[in-house]
Chain A
């Protein structure tokens, strides 16, 4: 699969929960292999639903979901670590559930150590249980668990939303580095526009009622990206463009509500 081939293609996707109005209506989305696409939008616009449809956790009412990637990783908003397992054993869970014989069991320990090192968690924390780790560390373990089976496609559902700004920036930076090293495709849902710009190659702005993509902004910033780049003119221009699109979405909703 070359870099320009799509890893994910959603065509005319419509999702309805029960008898209510569609949560997502006629959404189209193509994510190229190796690309990271960020989804931003107001609450309730169906960003997380899109991820769950791609993951196969929710069946759409209509439309097509094509996913080339066999191996999938998902990083949730909460770390979702099992409290009775150590950090290492939680990462191991990713292999127990998702490895399917590759790598063979004898290589698991090395793979787990590699992933924990890749996400920046020192060996002194590997035997700790989740309640002994900080929020940032827990999220690093969660990321390592998703990365352990070497997924082709990683889905992120506001993974760093609950973290402090410093931890979030550090994890954004680490995520970029890991993606450059490992080359997986990603879809990243976030409310934070700066984060969306920093971690992605393309940002899609979604509107609610029903959920749909209303704007697409390319992020042609070079890698490796460093934090000072957030103050760069290019960075700010892209951020402002997305902000403007988001303001348009919110104002449309407000006008619709008052009419």
Chain B
């Protein structure tokens, strides 16, 4: 009786009871965040696999066209050694291509931002790299440099370069004019502005570009292995996807294909995590705000204020 009597007036008068946020540690916020992020996509994955399995069984689709998920899992287990080494090789090629893109793309962006005549004369060719279909250029790469790991890296580099160039150029050139005015006020030269202003300003843009680029690098490596693989350099996932498809070993083809997808996803997530660390170390306003807002909203969802 007394409890009810004391609580009701407080609610009626609009007084909100203060709720201490208990157990608000960084890890439980992150775990909740992870569960909230992963759970929806995991549910979709499970539903897709179930639908796939049922479609094959009920539709009586021949296994050489679409194997059951269980057959794919078995094929992956049987081929685990070859699968692991192929994935390793593809990862190496993709990472080499991506690293090359990061270096060459950043230097190109630097040249574009520093000398406008370089940008005007070379930018159309940078766009060419983006617009040319990778499957159209792959046979030519195979023809001239010849098959091998280097050609696979070259294709991976070609397809993953453009985002770095555009992201880097945007970050280096789109500097708020009031910051430039501040530097000019002190008589700062071109290189001081570049080093202290343009490059730090470009980092968030480069991080975003790198996330796009790294996914493309895996695609480039897989396509490159379809056209440019050689016994000397070893066979990556792209080669095996093509080889097993030709022999109608659909279960193995699916296993290699899904591994390449998993590889791309893993590399993308690693790149994203590294990017977030870099941005957080730099104190990137947008990233930090986003993290804090997510954290706060999670905390609020965990413990909604009572009495409202």
Contacts and interface: CB of A to CB of B under 8 A. Distances in A.
B184 interface: yes
Interface in A148-206: none
B288 interface: yes
A97 B186 contact: yes
Interface stretch (B13-21, B62-70, B192-200, B247-255): B192-200
Contacts of A76: 178, 181-182
Interface in B167-201: 178-179, 181-188, 192, 196-197, 200
B184 A131 contact: no
Contacts of B187: 97
A57 B185 contact: yes
B189 to A, nearest CB: 10
B282 interface: yes
Interface residues of B, number: 21
Given A96-B196, A97-B188, A80 B285 contact: no
A98 B178 contact: no
Residue in B181, B185, B188, B196 whose Cβ sees the most chain A Cβ within 10 Å: B185
Contacts of B192: 97
A98 B184 CA distance: 11
A83 interface: yes
B145 interface: no
Main secondary structure of the interface of B (DSSP, over half): helix
A84 B283 contact: yes
B183 A97 contact: yes
Contacts of B181: 57, 76
Interface string A75-97: 01010101111100000011011
Interface residues of A, number: 21
A74 B188 CA distance: 14
B289 interface: yes
Contacts of A57: 181, 184-185
Given A57-B184, A93-B196, A86 B178 contact: no
A72 B185 contact: yes
Contacts of A56: 185
Contacts of B182: 74, 76, 80
Among A55, A76, A84, the one with the most B-chain Cβ atoms within 10 Å of its Cβ is A84
A72 B178 CA distance: 17
Which of A72, A86, A97, A98 has the most CB atoms of chain B within a 10 A radius of its CB? Answer: A97
Interface of A: 55-57, 72, 74, 76, 78, 80, 82-86, 93-94, 96-98, 129-131
18 contacts: A55-B185, A57-B184, A74-B185, A76-B182, A82-B197, A83-B285, A84-B200, A84-B203, A84-B282, A84-B283, A85-B283, A93-B196, A97-B187, A97-B192, A98-B186, A130-B285, A131-B288, A131-B289
